Structure 1
Amino acid sequence: MAYRKITDIKDTIGMRAVFYARVSTAEEEQLNAIELQIEENRGCIKDHGWKLVGEYIDRSKSGTMVKGRDDYQRLYEDLYEDLFDIVVIKDQERLQRNTLDWYLFINRVVQTGKLLFMYMDGKFYSPDDALITGVRAIIAEEFSRNLSKKLHNYHDHRIEKARQGQEIALQGSGNVYGWDKKDGKYYINPEQAKVRRLMCEGIMARKGSTLIAKELNDAGYRNTVGKPWKPMDIPKFVYDCKNVGTMIINKERHDFESKQTIKLPKEEWVYVENALPPIVTQEEWDLICKIHEERVIATGSDRRGKKTSGYSFSGKLVCGICGAPYWRKQRVSKDEYWVCSTKQTKGRRTRKRDSTMGKAGEINPLGCDNENISYNSLMEIMGVVSERLQANTDTIKHDMINWLTKLRKQLLEANGGHTEADLQRELSRKSKLLDAYLDGILNKQEYQKKAEELDERIIQLKAETEKNKANSGDIAEIDKVLANIDEEVSRYVDGNEKLKVEYLLEHLEQVQIFPDKVIVIVPILSEGIVVEKAQYVSREKWCRKINNY
């Protein structure tokens, strides 16, 4: 289905609409903000005369990646279904702070004929906005990257304190089976701790996980969702040093660029002793560890496997001669290239050498003589095509200013509008209040009443300004961008070929390969773009490729 263009918003009255809302943290003010965001979305749908048929809400989820955002993934899949016509969001940042995922979502919206309405902008998304929204996604991703660096710095400082044996705040989203978390500290949950203790006693008696699970179930114990215990549950609860009161931190780190969680080597783990009330003694824990080591050695259960997959051009390369798909291959040097599947399975049409299939020079009617093509050549082609994409820098500049101004306002509102200057002003007022009392302008009772009010106000402002330092840094960064807006537009658009290439890769429909050219088909462009071979392969390389292939 093609992109549905709306010329008059009144034409959408009566359409089915859903909305997506998200906040990135579980802090109280953010949870309040999500409720406001939900009401704004509902109000927007009602005001435009649309029919609300669904709601997608992610609480405490980052916008830099889609993993873990259950309702976003549900929305992404539902775009293929005939469940709604319009998706409403507050702004682009609520949906994505990741450039690649933004393009993937937009591509699916356009393909399925759905409409995306951003109520802060008061308009539907249009393919004409493609580069503008791409710029937004890049800027939002950079802000998220800066925030990620701040969090890493905080994490590094916290890890260093833990290594030195200093007390640190234990982070985590909630309770751990066997303990309840309250005000940042863990307390024994008697019923759960009893079950955990029984598991440990079973292992110390050298029972197997299957037998321990059976005994627990026969005794009437159930897991947190009311289901019977499984043998696979036992090891993860027993071989956990929290049983002896020790919490392990720094086991993994999130890499912003790759959006992957990196498992850190054990040498970098930090053990925080006495972090929780223990369930077993140190002697019992030593025995459990000894039994675990014996079983690991006996079964070899510490071995793990890995696999990777995913390629930008898979399923999109087609032979221009025979129409067959191209298959990805890899040389011993690990260089990737693609070959016509007909040529791979049936051989060349014109035989190059004698073989059991025939003599050199004979015609093989089932074969194909089309060229192989390398990954590097394909990326060169994308670069050539990206030059055809032109950006209206004046429009982008205007849009960036409006968007950044709104973002700045949102950050200020999140700060409650209070800054360090407000704090200093209140401190000055308290100093003047004392002067008024000493000069006899105020009596003692009046002074004490006003001083208490000011002290309460100062404490509140100190807490707010300390809490909002991160936002203040982002506001300063926005001010810097606004002050150099022309330079920023040039940096993000005019010189950002990577943005254009990424955009093309996500919207690429097909690449038709011929011996002397390729035709690149991208739905956003009016027709297929022809790229001659001489444009992406030098004469010297071309000759070398012909000889090699």
Structure 2
Amino acid sequence: METGSSCRGGGSVAGSTLSRQPTRVGIYNRCSTEEEAQKNALAVQAEESREIAQRKGWIIAAQYIESESGTSVKNRTEYQRLLDDMEKDVFDIVMIKSIDRLMRSAKDWYLFLSKLTENNRRLYIYLEDKFYTPDDSLISGIKAILAEEFSRDLSKKIKNSHHRRQELHRQSKGAGLNITRPMFGWDKVEKDVYVINEAEAEAYRAAFMLAGEGKGFYVIANEMYDNGVRSKSGKRISAIQWRKMIYSPRAHGTMVIHQREYDFDSKKMKTLPPEEWIYIEDALPPIVSKEYQEEVLKEISARRIDCRFGEYTRDMSRVGMYDLSGKLYCAICGSVYYRTSFSSGLRRLPEWKCSTALAKGRTASNKEGCDNINLIEETINEVVERACKEQYESLFGTQQNIIDETLAAVKKAFRDDQSEKELVRLKKELEKLDRKKKILFEKLMNETIQDLEFKEYNEELGRQIAQLSEKIGALEEKSSTYADYEIRLTAIREFLQTGGAVDRAKTKDLVTRIDRIVVYPDGKIEILFNRVKLLGLLKIYDGSIIEEQLNEQFFRITAKYVHTNIYRERRDVVNEKILDIFRKDPHVYAKDLPERLGVSYSYVNTSIKELKREGRIRHKQNGFTHDGTWEVIEE
């Protein structure tokens, strides 16, 4: 390793980077609360590193402080920010106390070194007063492995401690609950002692009552939020959280432990089988009785059975999240189509399937199944829109009045635009948050607050700053894109006249007038309109329409759905990319293509075989070597 005094010497790229004056340093400080006995250890480490940087005459460009485990980079927001700033050229040197302060995973250590090298930065370990150099890779790698083993042993000790506590609970001897998070409905008054928070408990009981009355969890979440009910941290309680709370035995005072366990090797939490769970009765004062909770859960279960997927009969003709919800019907079995999705390889595509086929499968495996075709959402939308446009072409010409009315509304919106005032207000708010963050850091340095408090407040401030910055960026982009009022209006007019936006809006309006779309196995699509709704829309655009002269066929459209092979489309796209690469770089190795194309080796191999078979490429080998030239045979 180089000593700390040689930080500006050397003729390497990194050395030339550091030759700039003054040298900028990014300081990373970390400790784990499970490992450090001293509550102020992190504050001491942070102050110590700043003093060393100042003694060396370095400019502290950034400091990253966090209290997280070093066994993984997951949840380490400050470490991720360090990596981001490394790429943004925020500093020249990364300063750490020791390798185990940066991380305790050998794999993550080598990934960090790779990042360091890519960005021509240097690593200074102030406990050893040395710079890391490539010659130290073996020694530092061993240190990282030792640190990882230390963490592994520590994890085993913690796990053994948990197991001992759990075993005592199995023997009904009691050993403490070791609850680390606040629980809605209770307040912790001392270790393992909880009392009911009456205000939260009242909301908890109200949620049970709503669930018993047949309300869904989304409805419960919305009603509770409207009534001012918030979580311990002051945030909205989601539908998923309410569901967990109503289902949890904790509601009647029973705690369940040993449900999950951390696997150090995989760095993941694994769910244990229910037979290994430990139930601790009367661990908490109950908010509702066990009998009442079981009664409510029984009601919920009964509703779920009544509305199970295969027997879902609710009329969906006028409801749904999507334009086609409740409109597509199977011509074979009469069931409604449901929206699903599948991966095409390039992207995830929405698809509509007969609900009978989804619930019971195809007839080959179940006589009660259905064999009707599936519909790619993008394709069926195009078919419906094209058919509507052809049938009711009188709608698609009288656009000028609509454009003029739209521009009049836009002009009014521009006059009422408060974005500039909002931008000034947001920037002032951002300055206030930045000052708060500096004050918070000073309090940490003065030991006014502990590291855990600092972490909590700092994360919240960081979240607020990120949200404000995003809003400011959006407003600034909006202002810079359309700085001039007239230019903005001209751009909108051109878009409306040439972009087809008006036609698309009309077509979308037409789709809302559809009663049902009947899907046949041969791809035939029969579109049936609601007579009253369609006439109401058509008369807006074409006053010459006389209702008495229209027959039933006017309200019915027949179209053809042609299935598109998504996988064939993907193959064609990849094949064209391969041809383009061969044209530009005929000496490229086939083994380098997967990374450039973002596909597997086998996929590339199949594409090359296909292109050779079609006579579109050939490879001329250079003697007996592995080198050669790709030739694209143009038609």
What TM-score range do you get, normalising by the shorter chain? 0.5 to 0.7
Unaligned runs of 5+ in 2: 1-10, 310-340, 344-581, 628-635
Equivalent residue number for residue 609 of structure 2: 347
Kindly indicate whether residue 587 of structure 2 is the aligned counterpart of residue 338 of structure 1. Answer: no
SS in 2 for 1:253: strand
Kindly indicate whether residue 274 of structure 2 is the aligned counterpart of residue 266 of structure 1. Answer: yes
Shift of 1:134: 0.7
8 Å contact 1:347–1:367 — kept in the other structure? no
Q: Choose the corresponding residue for 1:161, options 153, 156, 168.
A: 168
Equivalent residue number for residue 213 of structure 1: 221
8 Å contact 1:346–1:367 — kept in the other structure? no
For structure 1, which segment, 122-131 or 72-81, has the greater mean C-alpha deviation from structure 2 after superposition? 72-81
Change (3 A) 1:164 1:105: same
Equivalent residue number for residue 198 of structure 2: 190
Q: Deviations over 1:116-150 (max 9, x none)?
A: 11100112221121111111111111122222222
Shift of 1:194: 2.0
Instruction: Name the CA distance, whole Å, in 2 between partners of 1:40 and 1:240.
Output: 46
Shift of 1:82: 2.2
8 Å contact 1:348–1:369 — kept in the other structure? no
Change (3 A) 1:139 1:192: same
Instruction: Name the CA distance, whole Å, in 2 between partners of 1:131 and 1:296.
Output: 60
Equivalent residue number for residue 115 of structure 2: 108
Instruction: Map 1:4-403 onto structure 2 (within 5 A).
Output: 4-6=13-15, 14-25=22-33, 29-59=37-67, 61-185=68-192, 186-294=194-302, 297=305, 321-324=587-590, 325-327=592-594, 338-339=601-602, 341=604, 343-347=605-609, 357=614, 364=615, 366-368=617-619
Instruction: Name the CA distance, whole Å, in 1 between partners of 2:162 and 2:108.
Output: 27
Equivalent residue number for residue 497 of structure 2: none
Change (3 A) 1:16 1:299: farther
Instruction: Name the CA distance, whole Å, in 1 between partners of 2:276 and 2:147.
Output: 31
Instruction: Name the CA distance, whole Å, in 2 between partners of 1:75 and 1:149.
Output: 30
Change (3 A) 1:38 1:365: same
8 Å contact 2:14–2:121 — kept in the other structure? no
Change (3 A) 1:223 1:183: closer
Change (3 A) 1:87 1:290: same
Instruction: State the one-letter code of the partner of 2:173.
Output: Q
Q: CA RMSD in A?
A: 3.5
Unaligned runs of 5+ in 1: 308-317, 329-335, 358-363, 371-513, 519-549
8 Å contact 1:321–1:368 — kept in the other structure? no
Shift of 1:203: 1.2
Shift of 1:27: 7.7
Q: Deviations over 1:72-91 (max 9, x none)?
A: 12222332212222211100
8 Å contact 1:326–1:339 — kept in the other structure? no
8 Å contact 2:184–2:231 — kept in the other structure? no
Shift of 1:348: 7.3
Instruction: Return the index of the structure with the highest Cα Rg.
Output: 2
Change (3 A) 1:233 1:254: closer
Shift of 1:8: 12
Instruction: Name the CA distance, whole Å, in 2 between partners of 1:228 and 1:149.
Output: 37
Change (3 A) 1:187 1:7: same
Q: Deviations over 1:130-189 (max 9, x none)?
A: 111111111111122222222222222222111122212212333212222243222222
Instruction: State the one-letter code of the partner of 1:211.
Output: V
Q: Deviations over 1:343-390 (max 9, x none)?
A: 4324278x6xxx6x3xxxxxx4614589xxxxxxxxxxxxxxxxxxxx
Q: Percent identity?
A: 36
Instruction: State the one-letter code of the partner of 1:90.
Output: K
Shift of 1:251: 0.9
Instruction: State the one-letter code of the partner of 2:617.
Output: L
Shift of 1:32: 1.4
Equivalent residue number for residue 439 of structure 1: none
Shift of 1:339: 4.6
Shift of 1:205: 2.4
Shift of 1:52: 1.5
Instruction: Name the CA distance, whole Å, in 2 between partners of 1:515 and 1:100.
Output: 40
8 Å contact 2:214–2:300 — kept in the other structure? no
Shift of 1:225: 4.5
Instruction: Name the CA distance, whole Å, in 1 between partners of 2:147 and 2:202.
Output: 48
Q: Deviations over 1:461-509 (max 9, x none)?
A: xxxxxxxxxxxxxxxxxxxxxxxxxxxxxxxxxxxxxxxxxxxxxxxxx
Q: Deviations over 1:213-246 (max 9, x none)?
A: 3332333333345455543442122112111111
Instruction: Name the CA distance, whole Å, in 2 between partners of 1:75 and 1:242.
Output: 40
Instruction: Name the CA distance, whole Å, in 2 between partners of 1:214 and 1:233.
Output: 12
Shift of 1:340: 8.1
Instruction: State the one-letter code of the partner of 2:105.
Output: N
Instruction: Name the CA distance, whole Å, in 1 between partners of 2:204 and 2:71.
Output: 37
Instruction: Name the CA distance, whole Å, in 1 between partners of 2:36 and 2:151.
Output: 21
Shift of 1:33: 1.1
8 Å contact 1:89–1:118 — kept in the other structure? yes
Q: Deviations over 1:382-417 (max 9, x none)?
A: xxxxxxxxxxxxxxxxxxxxxxxxxxxxxxxxxxxx
Shift of 1:28: 7.7
Equivalent residue number for residue 568 of structure 2: none
SS in 2 for 1:31: coil
Give the ranges of 4+ consecutive aligned residues of structure 1 lying more than 6 Å apart after TM superposition: 514-518
Equivalent residue number for residue 472 of structure 1: none
Instruction: Name the CA distance, whole Å, in 1 between partners of 2:617 and 2:94.
Output: 49
Instruction: Name the CA distance, whole Å, in 2 between partners of 1:221 and 1:8.
Output: 55
